[in-house]
Amino acid sequence: MEMLLGFVVLLACLVVGVRHGGIGLAVISGIGLIIFTFVFGYKPGKPPIDVMLIIMAVVTCAGFLQTSGGLTVMLKYAEKFLRSNPKHITIFAPMTTWFLTILCGTGHAVYTLFPIIYDIAIKQNIRPERPMAVASVASQMGICASPASVAVVSVVAFLAGAGSDYSLLQVLMVSIPATGLGVFFAALWSYRRGKDLDKDERFQEFIRDPENKAYVYGDTESLLDKELPKEYYRAMYIFFAGIIVIAILGNASSIHNLTGVQLLPQFPNDKGVLKAISMVQVIQMVMLFVAAMILMSCRVKAKDVGNSQVFRSGVVALVSVYGVAWMADTFFGAHMAFLKEFLGNAVQTYPWAYAVLAFLTSKLVNSQGAAIAIVVPMALNVGMDPVLILSFISACYGYFFLPTYPSDLACIGFDRSGTTRIGKYILNHSFMIPGLIGISSGCVVGYIVAHAIL
């Protein structure tokens, strides 16, 4: 009974916290911590300090990337690619938003691409819902495939903390094909979704009004005709170089086994045994170094970084992970013996149960990073094979289930044709089926790839 009451408290804090946003989720978690500690008598868990530090370094670097204009260069190249392939926008738009998220570590860059995707689709007489809805889903699926995202660095940090030797590169070798193929399958389904515009009675009725027609077919601002400063390009190249360095160092043990070259410095541990520096620390160092290089060579004002959208959203994720992970660790730590017996057997018998749990948790907290902070430590503590955790990394994106996430709402707003929408019954919205196809196929591909290469 006590465990059930504790779970109700945990669930209530998550539900109430989400209504107040990411930082609200963190502070509401403080209520759960107080109740668990002073009412239930649970020993307080440990805040995920390593995870928080690595998130702080990554979002700082991403903030410098956006402020320096490096992200603008990526968006310009993305627009150029999409406008050169207009007839296949339904396939290329989601693959582009997915890839852009991988490069910059956040799905928020998609807001700039929505009007471009819409403009291309409507001028090709393609139903805008087809590319736009799946592009929104794809932008979020790319988070678990980016070496610069909160979700991926959190997974790496948790695995390292549990003594696992899986490198960042190995995580990406699973998550990139899993999420990429998931996006591709969702895009294929979207290719013929809904009625063609000339057969859509609702759309035809709307554009009979000349003002509405002008609104629907109006021009969209483009980046192609804008000359960008050379510092913008330099910032992008510096950021890419940092990502490449992290990928190489993340696979340092394999390189050492093949070549005998030790890329990471070694230091004696508490027992006097030489051990290579942790990748958790390496990622932090490289990200801060990259940010410093952008600062000094790209005419960036450091004070402007704190106002960038990427930095602000990253700090929200940082605080959210802090509160919700601490609260969850306190609850699960108090009942770990039971969880090891119950969940350990359940996961071994029904490995898909973990994917379902990750999906539901993600919807509850509206964040892949926060979901990972809850489910991954718990899964590792009950003895779940890290290979299974990596197999179902795609399932950490479940907040499309209800169309309340900012990128989905923005997508609806940018579709001036009205084809991308929330249905009469709420759940029959434009993002539901692409999201379910992307996640389910991503989990299948991830399971196959992880068991084949790890």
**pLDDT-derived band at 427, boundaries 50, 70, 90:** confident
CA nearest neighbour of 151 among 51, 69, 246, 235? 51
Encoding tokens for residue 321?
């992970």
pLDDT of residue 94: 96
Which residue would you say has higher pLDDT here, 127 or 252?
A: 127
Q: Which domain holds residue 62?
A: 2-453
State pLDDT tens for residues 372-410: 988 898 888 888 889 999 999 999 999 898 777 778 888
* Tokens standing for residue 403: 């169309």
Are the C-beta atoms of 17 and 26 separated by less than 8 Å?
yes
pLDDT score, position 22:
66
Q: How far apart are CA 148 and CA 106, in angstroms?
A: 8
pLDDT digits (tens, 9 = 90+) for 295-328: 999 989 999 998 887 788 778 878 877 888 888 8
Give the per-residue pLDDT at 308: 85
Euclidean distance between CA atoms 317 and 59, whole angstroms: 9
| Tally of domains within the chain | 1
Q: Is the pLDDT of residue 424 over 80?
A: no
pLDDT in tens, 325-370: 888 889 888 887 777 677 666 777 788 888 998 998 888 777 888 8
In angstroms, the CA 438 to CA 42 distance is: 39
Model's pTM, two decimal places?
Answer: 0.83
pLDDT in the model for residue 235: 95
- d(CA 168, CA 152) in angstroms, rounded, equals 8
* Inter-residue contact 49 to 373 (CB < 8 Å): no
pLDDT at 7 over 90: no
> 285-295 pLDDT, tens per residue?
999 999 999 99
Sequential DSSP letters for 255-270: HHHHH----S-EEE-T
- SS3 at position 274: strand
Average pLDDT, the chain: 87
Element (H, E) at 230: helix 230-250
Q: Which residue, among 105, 266, 73, has the nearest Cα to 172 in the 3D structure?
A: 105
Residue type, 343: L
**Percent of the chain topping pLDDT 70:** 96
